[in-house]
């Protein structure tokens, strides 16, 4: 097989895991990671703890950089480079270099899309008020820390009682803030059974966290120097800062027309799987394969003969690989179950490239 060029859109755990696996499968391939953010690999699970001053040094979040990928894996990394278009026929992508505004094209033999998601900011009244934040990136956590310091914040409202919401509540309490958590469902930690979620809530309550469960947010108001979170029941919760922790890209497919458009776009994208004698574009599924988008992705893949990786149901061999691949951990690529999907995609990618002329 001649030397192939593999381009990955997005770094951090997903894209970086796939890139390093590709290197292990082929020592000669040209591998390029393009990420529109300033960091190719960072400990996103540590962001709440950076906000809470448990992690005091921001540099501790940066577990791998472009130099490490270059020197250890011979992988080129370009941060602040955003892929804005794909030309499937020419096997080229259009890239915007953000620092300069320069546009250029890059060719590929195989393209891996792992751009991640965006934090949800629902279209509610007052959603754009100053002091309402999401926590997904290092710049997000930096802005939250700055607001707490500059405003001498004493109270916070966290919207969402899942993993991130509770971690933020814990860390805001650690910083001395009074914290209320508003959750639309009638329990915290929705993935857990209620019997398991209740002790988690009770533990946080012992540390002063207040909960308003079974009550969705209706909007936000600025009032007396604070932000007032208004709920559908008519209750109000005021704080000096509001953290939105209500998921990623939820609600984008709210009607049949939107679902059809999304599926059609996937089908157009995945037609590249038929080009060149094998798959040319691989799409990572979500961690839980039960969302509307994952179901549409399954359907689109079936229509074009594509590859759908259900990360939650990978076999024992992939799980053992994720645990045993110590060099990946050293490169700052998280070894949580979700990365098994990217390793499986890398395996499928090289099987496909072998069929290309």
Q: What is the spatial distance between Cα 73 and Cα 108, in angstroms, rounded to a whole number?
A: 19
Angle between helices 66-73 and 12-25 (to 10 degrees): 20
Cα 258 from Cα 264, distance rounded (Å): 10
Unique residue bearing structure tokens 């914290």: 179
Give 132-244's CATH code, choosing from 3.50.50.60, 3.30.1360.170, 3.30.750.24, 3.30.365.10.
3.50.50.60
In this model, does residue 307 exceed pLDDT 60? no
Is the confidence at residue 330, as pLDDT, over 50? no
- The residue that leads in pLDDT, 119 or 25, is 25
Contact 160, 245 (CB under 8 A): yes
- pLDDT confidence bin for 356, thresholds 50/70/90: low
**CA-based Rg of the chain, rounded to a whole angstrom?**
22
Q: What is the mean pLDDT of residues 157-178?
A: 96
Half-sphere exposure of 161 (CA within 13 A, CB side): 30
5-117+251-353: what fold? FAD/NAD(P)-binding domain (3.50.50)
pLDDT reported for residue 72: 94
pTM: 0.72
Q: Rounded mean pLDDT of 248-259?
A: 50
Contact status, residue 31 vs residue 19, Cβ threshold 8 Å: yes
The pLDDT assigned to 295 comes to: 67
Distance CA 179, CA 315 (A): 41
Q: Share the mean pLDDT of the chain.
A: 80
Measured distance between the N- and C-terminal CA atoms of the chain, rounded to whole angstroms = 8
> Do 5-117+251-353 and 132-244 have matching folds?
yes
- Residue 47 scores a pLDDT above 70: yes
Check whether 264 has a pLDDT greater than 90.
no
- Just list the catalytic residues: 45
Of 165, 145, 147, give the one whose Cα is nearest residue 58: 145
Query: How far apart (Å, rounded) are the C-alpha atoms in residues 179 and 97?
Result: 40
Both tokens of 294, joined, read: 């994952």
More confident call, 232 vs 116: 232
Q: What is the pLDDT of residue 63?
A: 79
Query: Residues 70-85: what's their mean pLDDT?
Result: 94
Average pLDDT over residues 53-77: 93
Asked whether residue 111 carries a pLDDT value surpassing 60, the answer given is: yes
Three-state SS string over the chain comes to CCCCEEEEECCHHHHHHHHHHHHHHCCCCEEEEEECCCCCECCHHHHHHHHCCCCCCHHHHCCECHHHHHHHHCCEEEECEEEEEEECCCCEEEEEECCCCEEEEEECCEEEECCCCCECCCCCCCCCCCCEEECCCHHHHHHHHHHHHHCCCCEEEEECCCHHHHHHHHHHHHCCCEEEEEECCCCCCCCCCHHHHHHHHHHHHHCCCEEEECCCEEEEEEECCEEEEEECCCCEEEECEEEECCCECCCCCCCHHHHHHHHHHHHHHHHHHHHHHCCCEEECCCCCCCCHHHHHHHHHHHHHCCCCCCHHHCCHHHHHHHHHCHHHHHCCCCCCCCHHHHHHHHHHHHHHHCCCC
Calculate mean pLDDT across residues 145-150.
Answer: 97
Q: Which of 6-15, 71-80, 154-163, 221-230 has the lowest mean pLDDT?
A: 6-15
Each domain of the chain, given as residue ranges in start order, spans: 5-117+251-353, 132-244
Q: Are 258 and 251 in contact (CB under 8 A)?
A: no
Which tokens hold the place of 242?
A: 């509001």
């Amino acid at each position: 097989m001649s030397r192939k060029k593999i381009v990955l859109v997005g770094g951090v755990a997903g894209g970086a895991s796939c890139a390093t696996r590709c290197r292990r499968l082929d020592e000669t391939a040209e591998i390029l990671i393009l990420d529109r953010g300033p960091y190719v690999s960072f400990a996103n699970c540590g962001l709440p703890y950076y906000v809470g001053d448990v992690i005091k040094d921001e540099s501790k979040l940066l577990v791998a950089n472009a130099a490490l990928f270059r020197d250890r894996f011979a992988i080129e990394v370009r941060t602040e480079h955003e892929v804005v278009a794909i030309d499937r026929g020419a096997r080229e992508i259009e890239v915007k270099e953000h620092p300069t505004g320069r546009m250029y094209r890059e060719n590929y033999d195989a393209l891996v899309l792992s751009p991640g998601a965006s934090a949800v900011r629902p279209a509610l009244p007052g959603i754009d008020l100053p002091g309402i934040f999401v926590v997904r990136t290092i710049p997000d956590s930096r802005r939250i820390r700055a607001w707490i310091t500059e405003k001498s914040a004493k109270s916070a409202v966290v919207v969402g009682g899942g993993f991130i919401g509770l971690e933020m509540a814990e860390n805001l309490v650690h910083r001395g803030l009074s914290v209320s958590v508003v959750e639309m469902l009638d329990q915290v930690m929705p993935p857990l059974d209620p019997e398991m979620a209740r002790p988690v809530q009770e533990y946080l309550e012992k540390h002063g966290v207040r909960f308003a469960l079974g009550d969705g947010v209706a909007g936000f108001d600025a009032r007396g120097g604070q932000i007032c979170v208004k709920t559908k029941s008519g209750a109000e919760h005021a704080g000096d800062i509001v953290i939105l922790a209500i998921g990623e890209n939820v609600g984008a497919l709210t009607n049949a027309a939107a679902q059809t458009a999304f599926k059609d776009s996937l089908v157009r994208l995945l037609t590249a799987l038929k080009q060149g004698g094998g798959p040319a574009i691989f799409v990572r599924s979500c961690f839980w394969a039960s969302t509307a988008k994952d179901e549409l992705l399954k359907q689109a893949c079936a229509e074009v003969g594509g590859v759908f990786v259900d990360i939650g149901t990978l076999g024992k061999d992939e799980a053992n690989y994720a645990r045993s691949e110590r060099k990946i951990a050293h490169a700052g690529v998280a070894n949580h179950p979700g990365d098994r999907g990217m390793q499986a995609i890398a395996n499928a990618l090289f099987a496909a490239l072998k069929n290309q002329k």
